[in-house]
């Protein structure tokens, strides 16, 4: 569920960043002027960010009317009108760029995620995001990943344990740190450990790992990791492939039998989708 208060706070910060002491250009427009506008996409996208878009305008003028023709998570074709906007000209012009920034950025994340999800359709794997997000936009971007059909990993450092190489070195080895994690982790917190070799995977499995991140494994090694996991005497761990995952190779990775594939580029290497807001006199 989206937290409306969180969205409003985020939007207010973005508007303040853009407006400062006030919009010097908007005051050139008569105070009683009204405008209507349509938001159009110039490319095929998965829409995301409608709540942020609306909040940008409503923080400046609550009476502005926005009529959506599409909802978050739905696909739109090039040339399609996403929504109509109508109201006082000054707040419409002032909020336009900030509103589009949210909508373009979050739709880009949702669109990219959907491409990865489509690429592995029919396999048992899921596409998972990471903490490689734009500062200040993590919650919004992770929402966009869900709109695109992906799954969220931990939100931050506070709601999950991911043991990486440096943690293992500092704690004295895989077995030691997994036992420590088992002692301190609440029941609802997932504990995951990153391994870089098949030998480290076997160490993690023997130490009771329930979720293992296979970092930069080759496709051949991923297949071997899945086999080792299935043959292990205890409860099989959830296996997640990570590192240099692209649209070109994600299908091969999924077909190895891993459970999850984490893709940092979903939220890190994004290019805003191409939207335009066309104004008309009322």
Q: Are residues 276 and 259 in the same domain?
A: no
Tell me the pLDDT band of 172, cut-offs 50, 70 and 90: very high
Q: What integer best gives the mean pLDDT of the chain?
A: 96
In the structure encoding, which two tokens stand for residue 260, read together?
A: 């999850």
Residue 66 has pLDDT above 80, yes or no: yes
Tell me the pLDDT band of 282, cut-offs 50, 70 and 90: low
Helices 174-184, 198-206: axis angle to 10 degrees equals: 40
Tell me the pLDDT band of 253, cut-offs 50, 70 and 90: very high
Tell me the pLDDT band of 260, cut-offs 50, 70 and 90: very high
- What number is the average pLDDT over the span 96-124? 98
Residue 2 has pLDDT above 90, yes or no: no
Catalytic residue among 129, 200, 215, 259: 215
- What number is the average pLDDT over the span 196-223? 97
Catalytic, 65? Answer no
Catalytic residue among 42, 65, 67, 97: 97
Catalytic, 129? Answer no
Catalytic, 132? Answer yes
* CATH number of domain containing 166: 3.20.20.70
Q: Are residues 129 and 235 in the same domain?
A: yes
Catalytic residue among 58, 86, 131, 132: 132
Q: What is the pLDDT, as a whole number, of residue 1?
A: 63
Please state the domain count of the chain. Answer: 2
Q: How far apart are CA 229 and CA 202, in angstroms?
A: 8
Residue 259 has pLDDT above 80, yes or no: yes
Q: Are residues 155 and 98 in the same domain?
A: no
Catalytic residue among 164, 180, 206, 268: 164
Q: Are residues 112 and 213 in the same domain?
A: no
Predicted confidence (pLDDT) per residue in 266-279, tens digit? 999 999 999 999 99
Q: How far apart are CA 193 and CA 208, in angstroms?
A: 11
Q: Are residues 192 and 217 in the same domain?
A: yes
Instruction: Choose the weakest-confidence range: 52-61, 188-197, 228-237.
Output: 228-237
Catalytic, 180? Answer no
Residue 88 has pLDDT above 80, yes or no: yes
Predicted confidence (pLDDT) per residue in 143-170, tens digit? 999 999 999 999 999 999 999 999 999 9
Tell me which H or E stretch contains 46. Answer: strand 45-46
Q: Are residues 37 and 91 in the same domain?
A: yes
- What number is the average pLDDT over the span 35-45? 98
Q: Are residues 239 and 194 in the same domain?
A: yes
Q: Are residues 32 and 72 in the same domain?
A: yes
Residue 108 has pLDDT above 80, yes or no: yes
Q: Are residues 102 and 30 in the same domain?
A: yes
Q: Give the domain range for residue 241.
A: 122-266
Predicted confidence (pLDDT) per residue in 113-129, tens digit? 999 999 999 999 999 99
Catalytic residue among 23, 96, 129, 194: 194
Q: Are residues 242 and 149 in the same domain?
A: yes
* Paired sense of beta strands 34-41 and 275-281, if any: antiparallel
* CATH number of domain containing 27: 3.90.1170.20
- Collapsed DSSP state (helix, strand, coil) of residue 155: coil
Q: Are residues 164 and 234 in the same domain?
A: yes
Sign of CA dihedral 261, 240, 248, 122: negative
Question: Of 94, 104, 103, 100, which is closest to residue 20 (Cα–Cα)?
Answer: 94
Q: Are residues 20 and 104 in the same domain?
A: yes
The 10 Å Cβ neighbour count of residue 17 is 9
Q: What is the pLDDT, as a whole number, of residue 67?
A: 98
């Amino acid at each position: 569920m989206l937290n409306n208060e969180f969205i409003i706070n985020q939007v207010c910060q973005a508007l303040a960043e853009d407006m400062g002491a006030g919009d010097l250009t908007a005051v050139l427009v008569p105070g009683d002027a009204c405008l209507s506008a349509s938001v159009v996409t110039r490319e095929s996208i998965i829409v995301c960010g409608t709540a942020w878009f609306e909040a940008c305008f409503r923080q400046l003028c609550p009476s502005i009317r926005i009529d959506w023709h599409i909802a978050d998570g739905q696909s739109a074709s090039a040339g399609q009108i996403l929504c109509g906007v109508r109201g006082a000209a000054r707040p419409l012009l002032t909020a336009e760029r900030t509103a589009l920034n949210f909508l373009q950025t979050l739709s880009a994340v949702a669109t990219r995620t959907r491409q990865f999800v489509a690429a592995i359709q029919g396999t048992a794997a899921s596409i998972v995001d990471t903490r490689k997000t734009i500062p200040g936009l993590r919650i919004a971007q992770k929402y966009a990943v869900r709109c695109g059909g992906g799954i969220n990993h931990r939100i931050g450092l506070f709601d999950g344990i991911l043991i990486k190489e440096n943690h293992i070195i500092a704690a004295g080895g895989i077995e030691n740190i997994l036992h420590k994690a088992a002692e301190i982790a609440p029941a609802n917190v997932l504990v995951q450990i990153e391994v870089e070799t098949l030998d480290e995977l076997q160490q993690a499995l023997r130490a009771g790992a329930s979720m293992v991140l296979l970092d930069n494994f080759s496709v051949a090694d991923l297949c071997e990791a899945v086999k080792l996991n299935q043959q292990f005497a205890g409860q099989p761990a959830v296996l997640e492939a990570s590192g240099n995952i692209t649209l070109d190779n994600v299908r091969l990775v999924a077909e190895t039998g891993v459970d999850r594939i984490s893709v940092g580029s979903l939220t890190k290497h994004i290019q805003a989708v191409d939207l335009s807001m066309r104004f008309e006199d009322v």
